[in-house]
Structures are given as structure tokens and as C-alpha cells.
Amino acid sequence: MMEQYVEIKAANPDSLLFYRMGDFYELFFGDAEEASRALGIVLTKRGKHLGEDIPMCGVPVHAADDYLQKLIALGFRVAVCEQVEDPAEARKRGSKSVVKRDVVRLVTPGTITEEKLLAPSESSFLMALGRVKGSGDNAYALAWTEISTGAFKVAETNAERLLSDVLRVDPKELIVADSVFYDEELRPVFDVLGRVANPQPAQLFDSSAAAGRVARFYGVATPDSFGTFSRAELSAISAVIAYVEKTQIAERPPLDLPEREENGATLFIDPATRANLELMRTLSGSRDGSLFKAIDRTVTGGGARLLADRLTAPLTDPGAINRRLDSVSFFRSEARLGEALRASLKGVADMPRALTRLALNRGGPRDLGALRAGFAAAGEIAAQFRSAPLPDELAEAMRAISALPAGFAGHLEEALADELPLLKRDGGFLREGYDGGLDEARGLRDESRKIILGMERDLQDQTGIRSLKIRHNNVLGYYIEVTANHQAAMNGTDELKGRFIHRQTMANAMRFTTTELAGLETKIANAADRALTIELAAFDRLAAEAVEAADAIRAGAQALAVLDVSSALAALAASQDYCRPQVDDSLAFAVEAGRHPVVEQALRRQAAAPFVANDCDLSPEDGARNGAIWLLTGPNMGGKSTFLRQNALIAILAQTGSYVPARSAHVGVVDRLFSRVGASDDLARGRSTFMVEMVETAAILNQAGERSLVILDEIGRGTATFDGLSIAWAAVEYLHEQNRARAIFATHFHEMTALSGKLSRLHNVTMRVKEWEGDVVFLHEVAKGAADRSYGVQVARLAGLPAAVVARAKDVLAQLESGETANKAEKLIDDLPLFSAAVRRETPAVAKADPVADALAAINPDELTPREALEALYRLKGLGR
């Protein structure tokens, strides 16, 4: 057996080998040590190898999915090795022959299909990077599929935007040719991706053989029959298919034909922007607090995945965007129809994932049940919309729903029982009356069981042993069990003598059988086997029907997801008071009373003060060819970062096809969105916070164009004051003169407000504050004009800095702002004594005696007459002088 294990493990060196032994998957040697640490299970030993104990651990087959989930989440790949031969066949070769085993499947992060391992609302993409080098040519392409649903897309890219395009899709696994993976030019990309990037043999990416592999997979003469692809695209598509074939061994999932995404069809969002806008996850990695979590009102897994796809890849075609907005508007005006639709959608299971499991022979009765439930809900929905005039997107969706295979739907309804078991081997999933032969076998089986109960009662009467039971297990079959102290009674009379045949002695029980019981067992087993055989054959026929109708089922499921997303966004707009944005080809960006969707909901949950809405207008002014730049000044904690982000998020939502949190919004399509908000470092790559800031700013200034939207916060604050001011100054000028982008630039360098007199499209705006009795009150309102202070000392006091530190800071600030010491460090030191001396001056323990305080402490107000109180007040006034 260990020879067999070592041979199979040698063929799968990069995977943990789940080696099937009876009811367990066992792991040995290094695999066992790694798995025991990762899973927290006991490491044991079995046998010896080269004189040393063999480490071993195992997991039960019935619980394997739970352990696989943990291993995949930790980045492991697992080879599942099953018995591929009947033990009886092995015995024919000799009593010591080992049952043949082989790997039936490789489980990797990008190829999982099990319901337990997949998050319903998240896609699980496998992606491949194709690269073709030629004469002066270096072409890249990405292809990605979710084998659990069959979705398959491809797009060209380049080295500069590669990381952005990968992070947009957010694959669970990216396969890359060895030669590309170790290319120094691309190392930074793969360093960021970490374990997601998985190097593979270069032959998987061979562009010369790619067309043939793709054609064979889809059963066509040439891939040209479903599109013309570049060599790099074919390389990536072929690699995905080859990897799917490698991991699924003998099974083939029903993948869609590859669909090309045209360059420029979606809004470009670079990695830094995607991270700090927290579209799908917060900076800490949580979904709570992200934009997706704030807007998701979908009720199906397919709808949630479609919403996520749209949010991460907003469109740039105004026609396509308005087509989506028309769907949301329809449900916004037809609220009752939307509510009825959402009630029906709650009955929709995940049809595409169920279909894939059936195609891969991993499905069960409940996967067929998922299809049945989906068909039933689709029928309800079609009836609801029969007389409604629909916008284009919804009308197209209803056509796909109407094209679902009615015959197959009826067949499922006729065949499947109301309650379905998890596993097909358990039987009982076909409805009574569906198959006459099955009903007959079931009747025989069930009648025999009644006979067993009758036999048990008869034996109790004959032996006088009321605790006698007839039981069953997989080893002995049916047997008679009595407690050990009743053994003598089993042969206590002449009638009973010799009737009972001993089978097994237990610690507290004795087990017997009889010739009658053995005969009945054979009859029951034959009936049960026959019933299960009929059910399994029916299951295979139904699964084959499902696979045959795969295209129509997936199209119908996608249509249901579109209905879910459109009605969910309408429900969001109604509950949160969002408006429909005007989206066109102009360079406008005018938002009236805009709000931050995530912050607003958080404030509402905390029952805090309502969110303060603000306008933003970056549209070209009369006669101007390009949009405006707002230079935003104001205090820390005044709301600058929130204002910056909310306008970026409004642009994203509008181009996703959603209503937006504003009173009104006019968004000229943005082709590239850049946001540089917040401070971070990259110490692993030797980058300080300031270096990261400069790298991200450089990427923005090198890529932004007139259709871009740029959000910049505190550029230049990570270095010396004059250096930082100079960089920020030059960056604003470059944005104005070269990029000509619509932009909001927040800064604490108040000197920059003078640029508004020099740059025609630059406007000064500020976050309003009020000072009240020494405190600063943040109004969170954006107004025209410029701030002359940042109120940093006041914010420091609110943060809880020691009073002595705040007082000292005020002294230093007053001297610096006086202008007299601005450029004279020596005089500044002379004018401001050392911090320790200043603290000592103000420490109560060493303060001089205060006669007013002493006199006041000696007064007892309860004992004073009005006249005495007035006299005491005059005395205190005199002491105070």
C-alpha cells in the first residue's frame, strides 16, 4: 500500500494527497505533518520507512468538505485519491493485492464546486495570464472562468495595467507560465498577489497549440466559429481549459463560450484607488463597511454575484448604463411588482452551481431540486410580468426566462419527491407513482421490514425475553441481540434448542441469527438494492437532461439575476432616498446634496446626527473645454476625506447603473478613476509612507486624461514643509495644464489657494467650522472660499493629548504664526523655554500660594447671612487685586 501511495504522491508533488482508506482520507509523511498543523488534528504514526516511523493523520470522508475548506482558505492544493477498483476484483489477483487507487480530482482555490466551499454571494474565478513575445511585440491577455457557474471571459491587457485588471476580477487563483512568473519585470505584480499566483508548466500556455485545444474542448472545428481572438487571448483561454482538464481529470464542466471584454468598455480603477475606496472590502479585509455591503439588497446568490461584477467593473458606454438605469426606474415606479418579484426570487436556488455539480458527477438530489425550485419561481415571475410593458433589459431577461426548458421542468416536478436527501446513494428522492418497478421494490422492502417487526415480537413471546431486539449493521446484516444474562434462555426449551446460530459476543450482549432471518435478509437486501438501482438510473437520466439543457438554464439563471439586481437597486433607492443620475458623454460632474452611502448608513444605525449633504460641481464652465479642479482646504476631522470619497463613489454607482445618494446628479462618463486618500507604507519593498504616496501620485499624473476623475488628499505632507508644498503646487499645475482632468485636491497648504488667481479652472472651497468658547465645531459643510487655519491643536485636544502638551503646542503655534520667528530657529528657542520648564511652571504642585483660593476655601456658604456673604465677596475682590 505504501508503495502505491509513494507512486501516486510522486505524480502530485505540489498537492496534499488525500489517500482513501475505508471511511477516511489518510495523509502520510510531510503531508501529514503539514495537514495536522493546518487543521489542528492529531498526528499519529503507522509503520516504518527507511527505519523511521511514518507520520500519519486522517479526516473522515463524510466530513472531508469542512477540512478541504480550511486547507483551500490557507492556500493549499489537494489531490483526492479514491479507490477505482472493486475490492473483489483486487482479491482475484491474490489475497495480498492492493485495491487500485488513483487521483480523481485536484482541488484548488479556483476550481472548487462544492456548495459548502463556495460563498453564495462571491464569485470564485480561475484566471490565466497569456503572454506572446514577438518581434518588438509583447502582448498580454487575461482569461477567467468560474467553473461553478460556467462564466468565461477574456480581455487583452498590458504590463502597466496588469495588476489593476487582475484585482478588478479578484480571482481565487491566477495560473501563470513558469517563465512569466519568474520574469523580473512582473515580479512586483506577483509579489502583491502572493499565493493567488500559481506557476504552471509553459506547455499549458503554448499559443501554437491553443486553437486546437480550445476547438477540441468545445467540439468545433476551429475557435473562429465563436470569435476571433489574438494569440495572447488564445494562450490564456487554452491555459484555463488545460488547467480545468488537469484538475477535473475525467470530468468536464459545461463552460460558456469565451466572451471578449473590449478595451475601454469598463471604468479603469487602479489598485490603490480600488483599495482605499473600499468597494468590496474594507482596508482590514472585511465585507462589513464596504460599498458593496452598503448597497446589496439582493435576495439570491446569483444576484449578489452579478451586483459585485457590475460594481467592480462599471461601464463607460452611456447607452448601456442608461439601459440598466431604465430597469431600476421601472421597479422604482412599480413598487408592488418589485415586492412580488423579490418574494418569488427568494425561492430561487443557485441553478448554475447546481448544474455544474451535476455535470461533474458531484451532484445530488438537492441539486436537481434546486433546478426544480428555479423553474417554479421562473414560472411565477413570467406570470407576474405577462402584461407589463418592460424596458429593454428586462424584456430581454423575460425572453430568456420564457426559454427555460418547460419539458424538463415538468419532468423534474413529476419525478422528484417533496423532501430530498443530501446524497443520491441514500435513495428516497423519486416521487411515489413515478416508476412502477420502483414502487413494487419499495413495497417489497417496506413489507419485509414489517415482517421483521412481527418476527421480533414472536421471538420475544417464544423466549420470554422482552428486551430481545432484531437489529442491523453493515458488517453482520440483520441479527438478534439479547443481553448476556439471557443467553441461557435462548436455548431454554426443546422447541428453541438449535434454532439460534451464534454470531458475535459483545461485552454486555450476545448476537444470534436464524435461517428464517437470513432468508428474510436476502429478500430485503435484493428489494432495497433493486429500488436503489432504479433510483440511481433515474438520477443519471435527469442529470443528463440537465446538462443537455445547460445553455438555456444558465441563460435563464442570468436573467433571474438581472431581475434581482434591478429590483434590489430600486429597493435601495426607495429606502435610502437615492436619485437617478443623468449619465451622458459630456464632461459634466454636478452633484447636488451628495452623501457618502456607507457613512450615512452607519450614522443612521448609530442613531447619530444625520449626514450633512454637500454639492460638488466639476463641470466645465461656460466656454471652458475641460472640467474644473476644486482645491479643498479646511480642518482635520472636518470631513474632507469623506467628501472626496463620496464623489468618487457616486461616479462608480452611476456607471454601475445604480441610483445615487444625492438630490440630483449629472455625471459625464468617467473613463479612469484615481483616488489617493490616506497614508500607508510598503516596508517589505523598502518604501516609506512618503515614497508610496509619490509612487501613487506619479501613476495618476502619468495616466489621467480629460475624461478622468482624480481625487487627491494631502499630497506632499510626508516630507519637509517647503518640499511638500512645492510638490503639491506643481502637481496641481500639472493636473490643470496637462491632464486637464476633473479633480478634487484636498490640502493643508493654505498658500496654494493663491493658485486660483492663476489657473482658470481652479476653484477654492473649504470645510466650514465655527469656534465657540475656545472649542471648534465641525459643520461638515463645503463652501466657497479658503480656510486660513487647520485647527490641528484643537483636534489634538479632542483626541485626548495631555493638557500640558496642548498648552505648549498653542505657545509654539502663536510664536510661529507671529511671523517674527518663522525663519529664525535660534530666536524661536530663546522665546519658547524648554517644554520641561513650561510644564514645571504650570504644575499645581509647585505653584505659588493663591490667597483668593485660600480665602474662598475657608468660607462656609451655609453659615453666612446675606450681609456676611456680601462682605466676603468684597474681601475676595480686594485679594484678587
* DSSP labels, 531-547: HHHHHHHHHHHHHHHHH
544-552's contacts with Cβ under 8 Å and 24+ in sequence apart are: 545/408, 545/411, 546/355, 546/358, 546/359, 546/368, 546/371, 546/408, 547/254, 547/355, 547/358, 547/359, 549/405, 549/408, 550/150, 550/254, 550/355, 550/359, 552/403, 552/404, 552/405
Same-domain pairing of 736 and 626: yes
Tell the burial category of 312 from Cβ atoms under 10 Å away from its Cβ (0-12, 13-18, 19+).
buried
Question: What is residue 50's predicted lDDT score, i.e. its pLDDT?
Answer: 79
**Residue 277 in domain:** no
Distances (CA, A) of 645 to 58, 273, 641, 693: 50, 10, 6, 17
C-alpha–C-alpha distance, residues 312 and 277, integer Å = 11
- Residue 662 CB neighbour total at 10 angstroms: 26
pLDDT digits (tens, 9 = 90+) for 750-796: 888 889 888 999 999 998 888 776 677 778 899 998 876 667 777 77
Nearest to 153 by CA among 252, 246, 262, 242: 262
Grid cell listed for 562:
438581472
**Residue 705 in domain:** yes
Hey, CA dihedral for 162, 165, 168, 169, is it positive or negative? negative
Those residues with Cβ within 8 angstroms of residue 726's Cβ, 6 or more apart along the chain or in another chain: 716
Question: What is residue 136's predicted lDDT score, i.e. its pLDDT?
Answer: 44
Total domain count, the chain: 7
Those residues with Cβ within 8 angstroms of residue 365's Cβ, 6 or more apart along the chain or in another chain: 416, 420, 421, 422, 423, 424, 429, 539
Q: Are 717 and 605 in contact (CB under 8 A)?
A: no
Grid cell listed for 712:
487627491
Residue at which a domain ends, from 491, 519, 539: 539
C-alpha–C-alpha distance, residues 37 and 46, integer Å = 18
Mean pLDDT confidence for 159-178 = 92
726 labelled binding-site residue: no
- Residue 630 CB neighbour total at 10 angstroms: 22
Mean pLDDT of the chain: 87
Distances (CA, A) of 306 to 262, 311, 562, 566, 770: 19, 9, 7, 10, 45
pLDDT band at 802 (very low <50, low <70, confident <90, very high): confident
**Residue 666 in domain:** yes
pLDDT digits (tens, 9 = 90+) for 141-158: 999 999 999 999 999 998
Grid cell listed for 184:
523580473
Same-domain pairing of 679 and 560: no
pLDDT digits (tens, 9 = 90+) for 686-737: 556 777 778 888 888 999 999 999 999 888 776 667 787 888 888 899 999 9
567 labelled binding-site residue: no
CATH at residue 304: 1.10.1420.10
Please say if the pLDDT value at position 78 is more than 90: yes
Please say if the pLDDT value at position 174 is more than 90: yes
Those residues with Cβ within 8 angstroms of residue 7's Cβ, 6 or more apart along the chain or in another chain: none
pLDDT band at 824 (very low <50, low <70, confident <90, very high): very low
C-alpha–C-alpha distance, residues 688 and 400, integer Å = 54
Same-domain pairing of 62 and 122: no
Same-domain pairing of 636 and 670: yes
Find the helix packing angle between 318-333 and 550-576, rounded to 10°: 70
* Secondary structure (3-state) at 769: strand
CATH at residue 148: 3.30.420.110
* Secondary structure (3-state) at 599: helix
C-alpha–C-alpha distance, residues 584 and 668, integer Å = 5
Strand order, beta sheet including 664-668: 582-584, 664-668, 589-594, 614-617
Same-domain pairing of 637 and 760: yes
pLDDT band at 285 (very low <50, low <70, confident <90, very high): confident
- Beta strand residue intervals within 383-485, DSSP E: 469-473, 477-483
C-alpha–C-alpha distance, residues 496 and 506, integer Å = 22
In a 13 Å sphere around the CA of 509, the CA atoms on its Cβ side amount to: 13
User: How far does CA 499 lie from the centroid of its chain?
Assistant: 66
722 or 630, higher pLDDT: 630
**Residue 86 in domain:** yes
- Residue 504 CB neighbour total at 10 angstroms: 13
Grid cell listed for 285:
479585509
Q: Position 557: which residue type? A: A
Question: What is residue 845's predicted lDDT score, i.e. its pLDDT?
Answer: 47
**SS3 sequence, 683-729?**
HHHCECHHHHHHHHHHHHHHHCCCCCEEEEECCCCCCCHHHHHHHHH
Same-domain pairing of 771 and 634: yes
Residue at which a domain ends, from 263, 285, 313: 263
Angle at alpha carbon of residue 455, lines to 450 and 458, rounded to 5°: 130
pLDDT digits (tens, 9 = 90+) for 413-441: 999 999 999 889 888 999 999 999 899 88
608 or 618, higher pLDDT: 618
- Residue 825 CB neighbour total at 10 angstroms: 9
**Residue 280 in domain:** no
Please say if the pLDDT value at position 843 is more than 80: no
Phi first, then psi, for residue 765 (nearest 5°) are -135, 160
455 labelled binding-site residue: no
Same-domain pairing of 756 and 828: no
Same-domain pairing of 317 and 446: no
Range(s) of the domain holding residue 821: 801-844
Question: What is residue 852's predicted lDDT score, i.e. its pLDDT?
Answer: 76
Strand order, beta sheet including 501-505: 469-473, 477-483, 509-513, 501-505
Question: What is residue 684's predicted lDDT score, i.e. its pLDDT?
Answer: 47
Same-domain pairing of 59 and 156: no
Question: What is residue 771's predicted lDDT score, i.e. its pLDDT?
Answer: 72
Find the helix packing angle between 335-345 and 318-333, rounded to 10°: 100
Question: What is residue 222's predicted lDDT score, i.e. its pLDDT?
Answer: 86
β pairing state of 629-633 and 762-772: parallel
User: How far does CA 325 lie from the centroid of its chain?
Assistant: 25
571-574's contacts with Cβ under 8 Å and 24+ in sequence apart are: 571/297, 571/331, 571/338, 571/342, 572/295, 572/297, 572/658, 572/659, 573/328, 573/332, 573/658, 573/659, 574/332, 574/335
The DSSP result for 476-543, as a single string, is TEEEEEEEGGGTGGGG-STTTTTTPEEEEE-SSEEEEE-HHHHHHHHHHHHHHHHHHHHHHHHHHHHH
Residue 624 is classified by DSSP as: -
- No. of H helices and E strands in the chain? 31, 27
497 labelled binding-site residue: no
**SS3 sequence, 303-344?**
HHHHHHHHHHCCECCHHHHHHHHHHHHHHHHCHHHHHHHHHH
Same-domain pairing of 51 and 142: no
Phi first, then psi, for residue 495 (nearest 5°) are -65, -35
Mean pLDDT confidence for 39-66 = 88
Question: What is residue 765's predicted lDDT score, i.e. its pLDDT?
Answer: 94
Please say if the pLDDT value at position 46 is more than 90: no
Buried b (16+ CB within 10 A) or exposed e, 519-558: ebbeebeebbebbbebbeebbeebbebbbebbeebbbbbb
361 labelled binding-site residue: no
Whether this model's pTM surpasses 0.85: no
Hey, CA dihedral for 776, 777, 780, 784, is it positive or negative? negative
CATH at residue 673: 3.40.50.300
**Residue 199 in domain:** yes
**Residue 311 in domain:** yes
Same-domain pairing of 204 and 163: yes
640 labelled binding-site residue: yes
C-alpha–C-alpha distance, residues 788 and 754, integer Å = 12
347 labelled binding-site residue: no
User: How far does CA 660 lie from the centroid of its chain?
Assistant: 23
In a 13 Å sphere around the CA of 716, the CA atoms on its Cβ side amount to: 20
In a 13 Å sphere around the CA of 54, the CA atoms on its Cβ side amount to: 15
Mean pLDDT confidence for 456-467 = 89
116 labelled binding-site residue: no
C-alpha–C-alpha distance, residues 800 and 794, integer Å = 10
Same-domain pairing of 253 and 137: yes
Mean pLDDT confidence for 622-634 = 89
* Secondary structure (3-state) at 373: helix
* Secondary structure (3-state) at 786: coil
Q: Are 647 and 592 in contact (CB under 8 A)?
A: no
Question: What is residue 134's predicted lDDT score, i.e. its pLDDT?
Answer: 66
Question: What is residue 118's predicted lDDT score, i.e. its pLDDT?
Answer: 87
> Any alpha helices (H) in 52-101, and if so which ranges?
64-73, 87-92
**Residue 427 in domain:** no
